[in-house]
Amino acid sequence: MTDLPLLSVRSITRRYGRHVGCEDVSFDLYPGEILAVVGESGSGKTTLLNCISCRMQPTAGTVSYRMRDGETRDLAALTEAERRFLMRTDWGFVHQNPADGLRMRVSAGANIGERMMAVGERHYGRIRASAEDWLSRVEIPGARIDDRPTAFSGGMRQRLQIARNLVTGPRLVFMDEPTGGLDVSVQARLLDLLRSLVAEMGLSAVVVTHDLAVARLLSHRMMVMRRGRVVEHGLTDRVLDDPQDAYTQLLVASILEV
Ligand SMILES: Nc1ncnc2c1ncn2[C@@H]1O[C@H](COP(=O)(O)OP(=O)(O)OP(=O)(O)O)[C@@H](O)[C@H]1O
Domain-wise residue ranges, the chain: 7-90+170-257, 102-169
Vertex 41: Cα angle to 28 and 186 (nearest 5): 85
Which CATH code fits 7-90+170-257? Answer: 3.40.50.300
Q: Is the minimum distance from the CB of 226 to ligand 1 under 6 angstroms?
A: no
| Residues 142-154, mean pLDDT to the nearest whole number | 96
Predicted local distance difference test score (pLDDT) of residue 183:
86
Rounded Cα gap, residues 247 and 226, in angstroms: 8
Q: Is the minimum distance from the CB of 18 to ligand 1 under 6 angstroms?
A: no
Alpha helices (H) in 149-245, listed in sequence order:
154-166, 184-201, 212-218, 236-241
Q: For 78-93, what is each residue's pLDDT tens digit?
A: 999 999 989 988 999 9
Rounded Cα gap, residues 27 and 232, in angstroms: 12
Contact 227, 44 (CB under 8 A): yes
Q: Using CA positions, which residue lies closest to atom 25 of ligand 1?
A: 41
ipTM of the prediction greater than 0.90, yes or no:
yes
In percent, how much of the chain has pLDDT > 90? 88
Q: Is the minimum distance from the CB of 46 to ligand 1 under 6 angstroms?
A: yes
Predicted local distance difference test score (pLDDT) of residue 171:
95
Q: Is the minimum distance from the CB of 96 to ligand 1 under 6 angstroms?
A: no
List strands edge to edge, sheet with 19-29: 19-29, 7-16, 60-66, 72-74
* pLDDT tier at 2, thresholds 50, 70, 90: low
| Residues 150-155, mean pLDDT to the nearest whole number | 95
Q: Which atom of ligand 1 is nearest to the CA of 50?
A: 18
| Residues 28-47, mean pLDDT to the nearest whole number | 96
pTM: 0.94
